[in-house]
Amino acid sequence: MELFYNSLPPVTKAYGSLCLLTTAACQLGLLNPLYISLYFPLVFSQFQVWRLVTNFFFLGKFSINFGIRLLMIARYGVQLENGPFDNRTADFLWMMIFGAFSLLVLSAVPWFSSFFLGTSLVFVLLYVWSREFPNAQINIYGLFTLQAFYLPWAMLALDILFGASPLPDLMGIIAGHLYYYLTVLHPLAGGKNILKTPMWLHSLVARWGIGRQQAFGRPGTRPAPNTPTAGVAFSGRSYRLNQ
């Protein structure tokens, strides 16, 4: 178990650990979830700005759903950080930051209002993973198999079937698609990547010695693989365009 934990990439390991520790602390009564929930009136009137961050670390009470969300971080987050984002720790962290910011904006809309956005951020990871590995075959609870491209929608449908609210899943899908559109689909259509990872984040990651950074090209770029499918949307590319 220790070897597995130490082998996890840094950003996924940090986020998964914070989710586990925070949820466990709430479950054991050591931390009141109300103190870390997202409540905009307290954020702006009493400057409780930590709520903008801490709400992402609570995944609900210990349950099957909690275990599934944690496993999703361990599987899809790890595969992204070790695959398409290999040697691009700052870019992966930037994806997480942009996803979190997008979810905060969505949560300000009354219909999407939510006290905790941890599940939604997990779905951002799931959605981006499903676009990077669209042809992977996924077995759903041993019941049926489908392509990874459709996995976010299948998980959303299962949550509805089991009586859970679809809003957290839907918010994650929206934020994940926004990131993927701005960094992949829009550049492929001839536009600029307006979501480049900022230099300050590259410098911060390098200064802290977190993960690995590529040593070639401009920050946030990666050469396209020399394959016939390179540059085709939803083909499971392991790179980002930066025009």
Provide CB contacts within 8 A for 183, sequence distance 6+.
Answer: 193, 195, 240, 241
The winner for highest mean pLDDT among 1-5, 61-65, 86-90 is 86-90
| Token pair in block for residue 41 | 């009136």
- Looking at residue 114, the DSSP 8-state letter turns out to be -
Q: Which one is predicted more confidently, 190 or 178?
A: 178
- 197 vs 90: CA distance, rounded Å: 7
- 127 vs 107: CA distance, rounded Å: 19
Of all residues in the chain, the percent with pLDDT exceeding 90 is: 66
**Coil, strand or helix at 115:** coil
Residues 38, 116 contacting (CB under 8 angstroms): yes
pLDDT in tens, 183-222: 999 999 888 888 999 999 999 998 877 766 654 333 444 4
Within 13 Å, how many C-alpha atoms sit on residue 171's CB side?
27
CA-based end-to-end distance of the chain: 42
147 pairs with which residues across the strands? 137
Question: Across all residues in the chain, what is the average pLDDT?
Answer: 85
* Residue 173: pLDDT over 70: yes
pTM for the predicted model, two decimal places = 0.85
User: Average pLDDT in the 153-164 region?
Assistant: 90
